Structure 1
């Protein structure tokens, strides 16, 4: 499949996208134009989410979207997930992961451009910066200066994802700095109409 590392990147949440409804919610997001979907499950065991991972990946493929599994390196390798995203706890083993994992690899770099350059050199397919605004999902996350996006676009050869407190009202600020992907959690899943909210972002990203 051809991978488009641009557009609306929706990330699941243990509370806002419970297992009972996550597939329906993700389908609505995909119908609204989401191009990337990340499963971020901080509570279940690998065994408990194995079927969900495969179901989400299949659903994303139907919509020609990228499915990304958060943090669970061994499971992503075992199930041959299309995408894997890792953060601080795995930075030290990115080279080792890259040797074993063949899909799209994304790395959280917070506000650190030097780290992003290192991760690019070690095989990252995209990097994520944030939080750019106070975040409901990670209330203790440090707020990052948006200058890092502009600088990253000058110095990196890979796409840039932005995250943290993004809403349809402030998204343009980050797009104007050059962000390729908008990663959104609360503003999507708390919406009464997920599809419509995703369409709103899709139109913002297209400059409509």
Structure 2
């Protein structure tokens, strides 16, 4: 997952899924258009269940040169062959996550805070995530972020930024124009009325 100069799509898995059934859904979505990364985000799952899900879904992404990231758990990400991990402010501290992951990818949730983002960058984050920019049906955001934050970050920093939170093909334009390197999306793809593949295609078209 790298910033190639244009905004790219970053998929976050649904909050609940059956890995064996979701495998083909994920493959179809990734085959529908260029996707930079997939984040496996399954809260309150046991480690054994997470490992089974990773074993089933990780190859689907990696075989297509799509980064496969695990939410919250850098140690398990390393042990299970993921490409990296994404941590929130309530999870493992950025500096510790950086140490655990070594050279693997590290993303950090920074909500709407410039200070948190700068601190994450200083402590080794490979990307920072800002949001929520819009109300989300996937999770209740702890805070909302201003679109101008993306412009401020992209003009000052080389570390890529991810926009997250309630993003759809219809409202993503201002985020792309403001400088988001990646759009992290979940429901707008997985719950698209014409299926996830159509959801990916709609985002690719909207991102220009």
Normalized against structure 2, the TM-score is what? 0.91
SS at match of 2:10: strand
The answer on whether the counterparts of 2:29 and 2:197 sit within 8 Å (CA) in structure 1 is yes
The answer on whether the counterparts of 2:32 and 2:197 sit within 8 Å (CA) in structure 1 is yes
2:96 is matched with 96
CA distance in structure 1 between the aligned counterparts of 2:119 and 2:83, rounded to whole angstroms:
23
1:193 is matched with 195
2:2 is matched with 4
CA distance in structure 2 between the aligned counterparts of 1:116 and 1:128, rounded to whole angstroms:
8
SS at match of 1:149: helix
Normalized against structure 1, the TM-score is what? 0.91
Q: Gaps (5+ residues) in structure 1?
A: none
Structure 1 residue 10: Cα displacement: 0.9
Q: Gaps (5+ residues) in structure 2?
A: none
SS at match of 2:149: helix
Superposed, 1:94-173 pairs within 5 Å as: 94-101=94-101, 102-173=103-174
CA distance in structure 2 between the aligned counterparts of 1:141 and 1:25, rounded to whole angstroms:
29
Superposed CA offset, 1:80-122 (max 9, x none)? 310210001136x221221221311000000011111111111
CA distance in structure 1 between the aligned counterparts of 2:139 and 2:58, rounded to whole angstroms:
26
The answer on whether the counterparts of 1:80 and 1:103 sit within 8 Å (CA) in structure 2 is no
2:54 is matched with 53
Distance 1:8 1:24, change over 3 A: same
Distance 1:94 1:141, change over 3 A: closer
1:78 is matched with 79
Structure 1 residue 139: Cα displacement: 3.0
